[in-house]
Amino acid sequence: MSKTKSILVQGAEIHITSINDLDFISLTDMVSGFEGGGSLIDAWLRNKNTVTFLGVWESLNNPDFNSLEFEGIKNNAGLNSFSLSAKKWVTSTNGIGLVSKAGRYGGTFAHRDIAFEFGSWLSPEFKLYLIKEFQRLKEQEISSEQLEWNIRRSLTKTNYLIHTNAIKEHLIPPKLPIKKVGYIYATEADLLNKALFGKTAKEWRTENKDKKNSNIREYATVEQLVVLASLESQNALLIEQGMEQSERVITLNKLAINQMKSLVNNSTIKKLK
């Protein structure tokens, strides 16, 4: 689970967490302002219409959903002896729409589709306010992501041309085959990766096989990108001075460490984040 966020709906603070890049809303927080509290979640889960809805949602979104177990639960739903919890639902059906979370901000969480359905059951008015605040949160996240993208784009472009020109003028012999030219650029890029991240692009890909078509710099922090821009400029200067690559990587690594230390607590960088 990623960092938990929250929205305020009719005086209730409702936490939202991300699981496998999907938004899950706390049902426990949703009922905090209603008489009955947590017992309302139990009552909702006992409802046959709720069980049917959960089954349809899982069938549409969960390829590993245990439909046979679900049929048994649905047949018993509505009986006086019937009870269902989020944990029981997950265990019995291999469901993914409900989650029981322990610890701080714990409780019963549901995928936003299911949480909105629960909101309708609680109060149509509450559901409308919930959707409104949730949409506002998503709009803020989109704006923040666009700002971060623009910052990252600016940082990665800052000294890129200075760096590539230095490589072209001082490290690439005339009439060198294009394939070998590309290799020189790649090794210099990896020199910076090694100095800043402690590993080459290939080493990072080997460690992160789940992140196909991505590279190490896409996952850099704002601080690391600031330092990377500086290292490009410094490496260009060291190349012009004729320093060997093995010496440059040591010098640049020391520089990266010192600059990262000074940036970690920099208030301006924190505002960019």
What are the CA-CA distances from residue 100 to residues 97, 111, 133, 268 (Å)? 10, 12, 23, 38
Note whether 10 and 126 are within 8 A (CB): yes
pLDDT at 12: 92
**Any idea which of 3-12, 41-50, 261-270 has the lowest mean pLDDT?**
261-270
What are the CA-CA distances from residue 224 to residues 152, 170, 217 (Å)? 10, 26, 9
Which residues contact residue 77 at a Cβ distance below 8 angstroms, ignoring those fewer than 6 apart?
46, 47, 48, 50, 51, 52, 84
Tokens of 169: 């003028």
How far from chain centre, in Å, is Cα 170? Answer: 41
pLDDT at 15: 94
Tens of pLDDT along 14-64? 999 998 889 999 999 999 999 998 999 999 999 999 999 999 999 999 999
Tens of pLDDT along 194-226? 999 999 999 999 998 887 778 888 888 878 888
Identify residue 68 by its one-letter amino acid code. L
Q: Is the pLDDT of residue 254 over 90?
A: yes
**Any idea which of 33-47, 53-67, 99-113, 139-153 has the lowest mean pLDDT?**
139-153
Q: Sorting pLDDT into bands at 50, 70 and 90, what band is 153? A: low
User: How many percent of the chain have pLDDT more than 90?
Assistant: 56
Q: What global pTM score does this model have?
A: 0.57
Q: Is the pLDDT of residue 137 over 50?
A: yes
User: How many percent of the chain have pLDDT more than 70?
Assistant: 89
Q: Sorting pLDDT into bands at 50, 70 and 90, what band is 91? A: very high
Q: Is the pLDDT of residue 144 over 80?
A: no
Give the integer Cα–Cα distance in Å for 259 and 44.
55
Q: Is the pLDDT of residue 272 over 50?
A: no
* Domain-wise residue ranges, the chain: 5-138, 158-272
Q: Is the pLDDT of residue 96 over 80?
A: yes
